[in-house]
Amino acid sequence: MARWPQWLSCALLLLLAACSAPVPQERVAEQALELRSADGPLRGGVLDGVAVFKNIPYAAPPVGALRWRPPAPVQPWQEPREARRYGNDCWQNRKSWDRAMSAQPMSEDCLYLNVWTPLPLRGDKLLPVMVWIHGGAYASGSGSSPLTVGDRLARRGVVLVTLNYRLGRFGFFAHPALSAESREGPLGNYGLMDQIAALHWVQRNIARFGGDPARVTIFGESAGGDAVHQLMLAPPARGLFAAAISQSGGGRALLPRLREDQPDLPSAQTLGQRFAQRAGVHGEDAAALRALPAATVLGDLSLIEWDRQAWTAVCIDGQLVQGDVLEGYAAARQAHVPLLLGSNGDELGALPRFVLRAMNQLLTPRFGAQLPQLIAAYPSAEAYERNLSSDFGFVEPARRIARHASARQPVFLYRYDYVPQAQRGKWRGAPHASDVAYIFGYPEAADADVSEQDRAQASLMGELWTAFARQTQPAAAQATPWPAYQRDDDRVYEISAQGTRLLPAGAPWLEAIARYAQPRAP
């Protein structure tokens, strides 16, 4: 049976395509600026008062014998390394219709990050740091996306870091042959290991770029938002960041276990064995797996092939990932740092009606005999059809996590529902990922026709997010005060074209989802 996470991933890729527009090309600084990192000297550049250093290695290239191993240390260098252009993206299947994708070459040699920092660099007054983790269903995207250029966010007084991490089977893969090599170390979740390695790089290096290693905020959207939750719950990531932002990060994805098959969910190793057999590798031959061509490992992650037998992402390995996200927050296993999280007003509503119906049908077994009560909780059959998948996958999990976490740390819950002026009358609300370009200050990446209100909205979003990074309290001069979420008060901070306001976070259908949804289909 097809399952929620895979359908969601496909749907979100379609939605991103529908929302994409021509985006700015990479700007390369002509004025050079040199800086020495802990591993060697870098030759970056200056653009409009912001220092830019790109293509900085944070781990050794995971190629050859290092494929499907934890990230290895960088080999130091002596001569200045050119750092004015982006490096390789990690292997992925790009789609011609998705103009938000980077145009960089793709390679397994892709573990690089980029830094934007305001000038002048001052060692006596270190700035807060924001580390962006891109989305893309753990199968696409990069730190060099034109939507997430960091100069405008950096001008708000933060040091901005974007990074690549291994994707698809390169980043999330398990097989008995690999497990036999490393009985004690972490396995399977190499993309998450990359993110942790990048955060270690930040701790070792960011003060040289004017950033404060004690004030690091991780933030990400979609799969990047899920990665934020995974890092919040991962013991090896503890102490590497001081605050977190999860945008449309969900929390309901059911994760396979590394080695143990479940009645309705094959283990990551079983999935890996199935792939290996299709690729012609039989038995426990790790060398043969690592010798497979990159194109074979990548495969064609199309809508037809995208299922658990073709590809998987995060698995429960017992070390980095100890369980499902909602279970982790319910057990208070998360880092007790300030957390900002939320969802968009119409996450999946821009999808065709037949796709929404199909997604809803995949969810109905999770409610069993209580399905009629769930349907009755919605104000209408149309509202149920339109919103169930969004509510189940994004809105209700964000509120649930806020309710769990607010007992132990400051939590700020939001709903982003700003519709660009050019899209009014076409969109009923803000679809998935439409917030990203606004947070980075590039509304023209979301729509070619940008209004003054759109630009003002981008300014508001940038100020709210950077204020949280500066003082762990989102605030802006032109915005309604944003108090921390309180379980008894149960309000969500809405951001829309009408302004900002506090609204009740609960609703009968959200309560019904929380009450009736089973962990897995019977």
Q: How far apart (Å, rounded) are the C-alpha atoms in residues 91 and 370?
A: 43
Catalytic residue among 432, 434, 444, 494: 432
- pLDDT tier at 299 (50, 70, 90 boundaries)? confident
Residues 6+ apart with CB under 8 A from 125: none
Question: b vs e for 291-330, b when ≥16 Cβ sit within 10 Å of the residue's Cβ?
Answer: ebeeeebbbebeeeebbbebbbbbbbbebbbeebbbebbb
Catalytic residue among 108, 347, 396, 444: 347
479 has pLDDT over 90: yes
Helix and strand totals (H; E) in the chain:
17, 15
Question: Residue 117 in contact with residue 157, Cβ under 8 Å?
Answer: no
- pLDDT tier at 208 (50, 70, 90 boundaries)? very high
Active site annotation includes 432? yes
264 has pLDDT over 90: no
Active site annotation includes 494? no
| Lowest mean pLDDT, pick from 12-16, 52-56, 489-493 | 12-16
Catalytic residue among 140, 144, 145, 222: 222
Residues 6+ apart with CB under 8 A from 82: 43, 55
Q: How far apart (Å, rounded) are the C-alpha atoms in residues 184 and 199?
A: 22
- pLDDT tier at 4 (50, 70, 90 boundaries)? very low
Q: What is the pLDDT of residue 447?
A: 82
228 has pLDDT over 70: yes
| Lowest mean pLDDT, pick from 92-101, 155-164, 285-294, 359-368 | 92-101
Q: What is the pLDDT of residue 98?
A: 64
Give me the chain's average pLDDT, please.
91
Across 103-125, average pLDDT: 94
Q: What is the pLDDT of residue 14?
A: 46
Residue 508, preceding peptide bond in cis (omega within 30° of 0) = no
Residues 4-516: name the CATH superfamily: Alpha/Beta hydrolase fold, catalytic domain (3.40.50.1820)
175 has pLDDT over 50: yes
Q: What is the pLDDT of residue 176?
A: 95
* Per-residue model confidence as pLDDT tens digits over 18-36: 444 444 578 887 799 999 9
Question: Residue 138 in contact with residue 171, Cβ under 8 Å?
Answer: yes
283 has pLDDT over 70: yes
Across 353-373, average pLDDT: 93
Pick the closest to residue 279 from 287, 289, 269, 270 (CA basis): 289
439 has pLDDT over 80: yes
Q: What is the pLDDT of residue 518?
A: 86
Q: Is 190 exposed, middle or buried (0-12, 13-18, 19+ CB in 10 A)?
A: buried
- pLDDT tier at 364 (50, 70, 90 boundaries)? very high
HSE, CB side, 13 Å, CA atoms: give it for residue 57. 19
- pLDDT tier at 247 (50, 70, 90 boundaries)? very high
Higher pLDDT, 521 or 35: 35
Across 305-320, average pLDDT: 68
Higher pLDDT, 446 or 389: 389
Question: Residue 381 in contact with residue 309, Cβ under 8 Å?
Answer: no
| Lowest mean pLDDT, pick from 180-184, 375-379, 440-444, 452-456 | 180-184
96 has pLDDT over 70: no
* Per-residue model confidence as pLDDT tens digits over 35-82: 999 999 999 999 989 999 999 999 999 999 999 999 999 999 999 999
Residues 6+ apart with CB under 8 A from 481: 475
Q: How far apart (Å, rounded) are the C-alpha atoms in residues 183 and 335?
A: 27
**Tokens 């719950």 identify what position?**
233
Residues 6+ apart with CB under 8 A from 120: none
- pLDDT tier at 185 (50, 70, 90 boundaries)? confident
**Tokens 């009968």 identify what position?**
508
Higher pLDDT, 123 or 457: 457
